[in-house]
Amino acid sequence: MSRAGLEPAKTLDESCECLVFSSTFGKDQGKFSSPDFPKPYPNDINCILYTFIAGSHEIIELTFTDFSVGTAGKE
């Protein structure tokens, strides 16, 4: 799934300032990435939440090809 394949989802906590994305049900495979990857996250994002929904007989497997936690608190 590309970012275009992800849809904004409603947060459980309305005060949450997270970007929330939910996957599209029914796809056999796909790709997803952070917003504007490979650029760093904007400074005003507190968290990003992705949800993936599978059928009861399916397994979700995530494979990371690029992963960096970066640094926080550079002021």
Identify the domain containing residue 27 by its residue range: 1-57
Q: What is the pLDDT, as a whole number, of residue 67?
A: 76
The mean-pLDDT minimum among 17-21, 61-65, 67-71 falls in: 17-21
pLDDT at 10 over 60: no
Chain centre to alpha carbon of residue 50:
4
Mean pLDDT of 5-27: 56
Domain presence at residue 73: no
pLDDT tens-digit series, residues 28-65: 777 777 777 778 777 777 777 777 777 788 888 888 88
The answer to whether residue 31 is domain-embedded is yes
Q: Is 48 part of any domain? A: yes
Q: Work out how many domains the chain is built from and give that number.
A: 1
Alpha-carbon distance 1 to 54, whole Å?
A: 14
